[in-house]
């Protein structure tokens, strides 16, 4: 009983470790961490401040957005207070009746902050205003107006670019949860289903894959995350996909395929991750979009095919049933690609036939003699 429990726990831990070792999650996020990055490289993130701002999460972006406006308002509020203080415009200096202040109706720090806010966002209530007798105030007004325009343009542009990023379009592209291996067109294929949830198309779509695994070179070098190209096609090719309905893409498992030596019994013992990429141009914005997902051995079903999901209604419309999008059914499938090719070769030999050059036919003359 104890041994069985240990075995069950060990298998569970192995599955968890394999799950944690996944490089690309099902929704396309990369599970990678950078360590010991040089300080010079970190400064490069500040040099490319626009991309850094766009890559920030929304909570950090909104914090910067609010801090930028509040900080600039408060900073210029202090400067306006300093101008009024140095020009003796504040009530504690008891200015004379003929005294002309730099800014009308600034009585303290609060009113200075309100004037700074009104100036930068161009509210213009008309109660507080700059007079023409103070060059310092005019110069400060020009500086705040220019800086306010820069902050408004940068922050509003960053939020608009964040909202309209093409990666959000990728959320409406979905892949099947599992991949299957079965025969298609008389060949053993690795099949995946992909669908576009919007009616707008992806222009110039192209799909391909990368098989990630650990390999050891003949020189003894261990390469982690070694990449092998995997070609995926549909019946019409792998470029310029007509992505109006769900497509079943497939990779032919031939002698050049890394899946050729795998079998139905050994595929779960393999250590690989297949990352699938779909590139295309968003029809509405003309921005390039890339969608990613990945499959590990536990998510590959050998001897299954996908359930049909496209049907035609009585009204003549085509209907897609997404409840069966990832459903599979068992089908008769060879347990390895090598066996399928051997079977096909044997059948082709039987059909064609072969001559034996060592075979010799000798004619025998038979005579019938009857002895009495």
Mean pLDDT on 95-108 = 87
Residue 158 to residue 281: CA distance in whole angstroms: 22
* Nearby residues of 17 by Cβ (< 8 Å), 6 or more positions away: none
So what's the pLDDT on residue 4? 54
How confident is the model over 348-355, as a mean pLDDT? 53
Q: Are 293 and 278 in contact (CB under 8 A)?
A: no
Q: How far apart are the first and last CA of the chain?
A: 92
Distance CA 73, CA 138 (A): 17
Q: For the segment 30-48, what is each residue's pLDDT rounded down to a tens digit?
A: 888 877 777 767 777 778 8
pLDDT recorded at residue 181 = 94
Are residues 246 and 310 in contact, defined by beta-carbon separation less than 8 angstroms? yes
Mean of the pLDDT values across residues 282-296?
87
Please provide the DSSP assignment of 59-113 as one string.
Answer: HHHHHHHHHHHHHHHHHHHHHHHHHHHHTT-SGGG---TT---SBTT--SHHHHH
Q: Where does the pLDDT of residue 372 fall: very low under 50, low under 70, confident under 90, or very high at 90 and above? A: very low
181: phi then psi, degrees, rounded to nearest 5:
-125, 120
Q: Which residues contact 77 (CB under 8 A, 6 or more apart)?
A: 109, 112, 113, 114, 115, 116, 117
Query: Which of the residue ranges 90-94, 242-246, 276-280 would you say has the lowest mean pLDDT?
Result: 242-246
Residues 287 and 166: beta-carbon distance below 8 Å: yes
281 — pLDDT class (breaks 50, 70, 90): confident
Name the nearest CA neighbour of 119 among 134, 106, 100: 106
The answer, yes or no, to whether residue 95 has pLDDT greater than 60, is: yes
Cα–Cα nearest to 195, from 315, 91, 345, 326: 326
Distance of CA 26 to the CA centre of its chain: 9
The reported pLDDT for the residue numbered 347 is 58
pLDDT at 362: 54
Q: Which residue has the higher pLDDT, 66 or 185?
A: 66
pLDDT of residue 217 exceeding 80, the answer is yes
What sign has the CA pseudo-torsion 325, 326, 331, 334? positive
Count how many Cα atoms sit within 13 Å of the Cα of residue 282 in the half-sphere of its side chain. Answer: 19
Domains in the chain (CATH in brackets) are: 49-164 (1.10.287.70), 169-351 (2.60.40.1400)
| Cα-based angle 311, 312, 317 (whole degrees, multiple of 5) | 125
Alpha helix ranges (H) inside the chain? 2-20, 39-47, 49-55, 58-86, 109-120, 135-163, 337-352
pLDDT for res 172: 87
> Can you spell out the DSSP letters for 41-58?
HHHHHHHTHHHHHHHS-H
Gap between the Cα atoms of 73 and 116, Å rounded: 6
Report yes or no: 4 and 13 within 8 Å, Cβ to Cβ.
Answer: no
Of the pLDDT bands very low, low, confident and very high (cuts 50, 70, 90), residue 72 is: very high
Q: Please, what is the angle between helix 58-86 and helix 135-163, to 10°?
A: 170
**How far is the C-alpha of 361 from the C-alpha of 369, rounded, in Å?**
25
Quickly state the pLDDT bin for 13 (edges 50, 70, 90). Answer: very low
What is d(CA 286, CA 98) in angstroms, rounded to the nearest whole number?
A: 64
Are 277 and 208 spatial neighbours (Cβ–Cβ below 8 Å)? yes
């Amino acid at each position: 009983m104890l041994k069985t429990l240990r075995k069950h726990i060990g298998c569970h831990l192995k599955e968890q470790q394999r799950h944690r070792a996944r490089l690309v999650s099902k929704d396309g996020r990369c599970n990678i961490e950078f360590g010991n990055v040089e300080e010079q490289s970190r400064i490069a993130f500040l040099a490319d401040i626009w991309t850094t701002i766009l890559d920030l999460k929304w909570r950090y972006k909104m914090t910067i957005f609010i801090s930028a406006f509040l900080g600039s308002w408060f900073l210029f509020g202090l400067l306006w207070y300093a101008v009024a203080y140095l020009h003796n415009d504040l009530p504690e200096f008891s200015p004379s009746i003929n005294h002309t202040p730099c800014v009308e109706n600034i009585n303290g720090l609060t009113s200075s902050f309100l004037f700074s806010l009104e100036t930068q966002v161009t509210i213009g209530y008309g109660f507080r205003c700059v007079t023409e007798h103070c060059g310092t105030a005019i110069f400060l007004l020009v500086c705040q107006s220019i800086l306010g325009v820069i902050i408004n343009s940068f922050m509003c542009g960053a939020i608009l670019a964040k909202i309209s990023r093409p990666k959000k379009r990728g959320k409406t592209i979905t892949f099947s949860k599992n991949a299957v291996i079965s025969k298609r067109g008389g060949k053993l294929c690795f099949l995946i289903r992909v669908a576009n949830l919007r009616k707008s198309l992806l222009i110039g779509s192209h799909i391909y894959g990368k098989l990630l695994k650990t390999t050891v070179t003949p020189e003894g070098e261990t390469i982690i995350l070694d990449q092998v190209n995997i070609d995926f096609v549909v019946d019409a090719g792998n470029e310029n996909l007509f992505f109006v309905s769900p497509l079943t893409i497939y990779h032919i498992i031939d002698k050049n395929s890394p899946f050729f030596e795998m079998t139905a019994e050994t595929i779960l013992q393999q250590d690989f991750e297949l990352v699938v990429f779909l590139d295309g141009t968003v029809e509405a914005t003309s921005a390039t979009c890339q969608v990613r997902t990945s499959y590990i051995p536990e998510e590959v079903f050998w001897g299954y095919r996908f359930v049909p999901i496209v049907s035609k209604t009585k009204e003549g419309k085509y209907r897609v049933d997404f409840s069966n999008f990832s459903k599979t059914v068992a089908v008769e499938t060879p347990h390895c690609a090598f066996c399928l090719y051997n079977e096909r070769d044997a059948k082709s030999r039987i059909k064609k036939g072969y001559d034996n050059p060592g075979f010799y036919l000798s004619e025998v003359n038979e005579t019938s003699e009857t002895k009495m």
